[in-house]
Amino acid sequence: MKNKTTINSIVIVGGGTSGWMTAAALSQHFKQQQVAITLVESSEIGTIGVGEATIPTLRRFYQKLGLTDTDVLKATCATCKLGIEFKDWATKGSSFIHPFGIFGQGTKETGFHHYWLRAAQAGKEVPLANYSLGVQLAAENKFAFPSSKPASQLEIYDWALHFDAALFAKLMKQVALANGVKLIDAKINAVDTNSVTGDIATLTLDSGNSLGGDLFIDCSGFRSLLLQQTLNTGYQDWSQWLLCDSALAVQTQVSDDPIARTISHAQQAGWIWKIPLQHRCGNGHVYASQFIDDDQAKSCLLKNIDGQVLHEPRSFKFTPGRANKAWNKNCIAVGLSSGFLEPLESTSIALVETAIEKICLSFPKNHFTSQIVTRFNDVTAAEYERVRDFIILHYKLTSRDDSPLWRYCQQMSIPESLSRKLEAYRHDGTMLTYPWEIFGKDSWLAIYHGFGVIPDKYASKAENMELSYLLKHMAYMQSRVAEQVAQAPSHKVFLNQTCQFSSQ
C-alpha cells in the first residue's frame, strides 16, 4: 500500500443495520468534504432480520446524528432495556440481573463492593442487587428516564433499547439519504481487484453496470463479500470457548406487559432469549449444535415461549470469532462481515458503533496511511477480545453440570486475559481493566456476583469507616433506591405516555 491514500468516493456494500448505520454516520462525518458515498443493497437478498437488543452506547450513537431517545423509541416500536435477566445460568432455579448501571455508592478510596463484602463478612449480608437502582427498576418492571443531574451515585443508571431492526435500519437510511448518500438496489455479481495493488477496484452489478470507489466498506453480513470472499483475509475461530454456533428466531404476539429487560434463559445446550417490542416479541434459541440437533432445538424454543407464534422459526449458523484484520487493503468490514461472537450481552451492534467511530477517527481528513490501518486493526482486535472474554465468563462460571455443554464449560481452559481478571477478583475484589473494554467494572461485578463469585477478602481501604456508620449508610442507600423505584411509573405507562410507535 502506498503510504497515503486519498479518498474521494466510498462504497458501502450492504443495507442491513450495519450498512445504514455506517452510511448515516459517514455522510455526517464527511459533510464538509467532497466525499461521495454510495450504498449498494440487494432487496432480493435481504438482511439478517435479527439483532433487536442493544446496549446504552447505541443511544450515544444516534444522539450524535441529532436523534432523541423519544424519536427512536417511537420510530422503531421500541421498549426500554435496563439490563438482562439471566435465568438458570448459575444453577437451575437461579436468577440475577445484569443492569446498565452501578451498585451502591463507593468512596474515593475504594469501590462499593468492598464495603458490601466487609458488611457481609460482619454478618450483615443484604443482596447486592438492593443497592442498584437499575436492577430494582428492572425487577419491578418500571421505567423513567434517568435524571440528567443525579444528586448522588444512587440515582445513576443507564438504559438501552429493544427495537425493530428493520425500522431502525429505515431510520438510519432516512438520515443517510437526507445527507446525500446515493442508493443502488442491485445484487453484486462480481468483485474485481487491482492486479498490482490487490485493492478492491470495481463491483459488477446484476444490472450490468459496474461501480468503482476509493474505499469500500463491507457490510454484507455473514457473506463477507469483500473482506473474506474477495480478499481472503482469514478468520480466528473461537469455538473452543464459545460453543454456541446456531440459532433459531421466532416472533410472537405480545401476550403480556412489555418488560424493561431482556431475558436470557439457559437451557441444556444453550439459551433462549426474549426481547419485548411494543408490537411483538422476539424470541430465539442460541445453541451448540454438537449437543442438540435443529429439531430438538426448535421444540425446546417453542416449548419455552408465550404468545401466538407469528411464523416458522428462522435458522442461523455462525462461527464465533473475528476476521484476522477488519481493515485489509482499501476495504473495512463493519458488522457481521468482520466477525460475530454470539448474541449474549447484545454486543454485535455495539461493535458496529465502535467500528464506525474508529473509521471517523481514522479520517480527520479524507486520506489514510498504513499506520492508521494498523492502529484500526489493533484496536478492533482488542475490542473483540475484551467482549469475547466477557461472554466466555458467563459460561465458565456456571455451576450447572446437568448436560454436556455446561460440564464442558466448567472444565474448559479460558484465555489468559480472562483468567487474570478472574483471579484478581477472586483474590481481593480487584477489578482488572484493559483498554478498549465495552463493559465497565459494574458489569463485571454483576456477572461475578450473579454467578456467586465472592472475593476471599476486601480491600483494606474499606476499613476506613466505623462498621456501625457503614451499616447505617448502607441502610440509607437501600432505602434511597427503594424510594426512587416506588416513585417510577410502570414501563407500560411510561411507553404509553412517552413514546407510542408512530411510523414516519
> What residue ranges bind ligand FAD (CB under 6 A)?
14-19, 40-42, 45-48, 50-54, 165, 187-188, 219-221, 223, 225, 247, 249, 284, 316, 318, 335-337, 343, 346, 348-349, 352
List of residues 6+ apart from 389 with CB closer than 8 A: 414, 415, 417, 418, 421
Give 304 or 502: the residue with its C-beta nearer to ligand FAD. 304
User: Shortest Cβ distance from residue 99 to ligand FAD (Å)?
Assistant: 17
Cα(280)–Cα(218) distance, rounded to whole angstroms? 31
| CB of residue 187 to ligand FAD, shortest distance in Å | 4
Residues of the chain by 3-state class (helix, strand, coil), percent to 5 = 40, 20, 40
Nearest one of 72, 142, 75 to 493, comparing CA atoms:
142
Nearer to ligand FAD, 225 or 379 (CB): 225
In whole angstroms, the minimum distance from the beta carbon of 188 to ligand FAD comes to 4
Active-site residue among 74, 81, 142, 325? 81
CA–CA separation, 131 vs 135, rounded Å?
8
Would you say how long the chain is, in residues?
Answer: 504
Instruction: Output the CA angle 335-341-347, nearest 5 degrees.
Output: 65
Within 13 A of 91's CA, how many CA atoms are on the CB side?
A: 5
Nearer to ligand FAD, 7 or 50 (CB): 50
- Minimum distance from residue 469 beta carbon to ligand FAD (Å): 43
Residue 5 vs 220, nearer CB to ligand FAD: 220
From residue 471, alpha-carbon distances to 116, 129, 172, 459, 463 in Å are: 9, 16, 49, 17, 12
Annotation marks residue 81 as catalytic: yes
Distance CA 241, CA 177 (A): 41
Minimum gap (Å) between residue 196 Cβ and ligand FAD? 25
Query: φ and ψ at 76, to 5 degrees?
Result: -115, 15
Contact predicate 137/82, CB 8 Å? yes
Q: 321: left (phi > 0), else alpha (psi -120 to 50), else beta? A: left
Nearer to ligand FAD, 326 or 352 (CB): 352
Nearer to ligand FAD, 5 or 18 (CB): 18
Distances (CA, A) of 268 to 239, 285, 431: 18, 11, 31
Minimum CB separation of residue 40 from ligand FAD in Å reads: 5
Closest Cα partner for 266 from 440, 450, 102, 444? 450
Q: Closest CB to ligand FAD among 22 and 136?
A: 22
Q: DSSP string covering 113-126, please?
A: HHHHHHHHHTT---
Shortest Å, Cβ 275 to ligand FAD: 7
Q: Which residues are catalytic?
A: 81
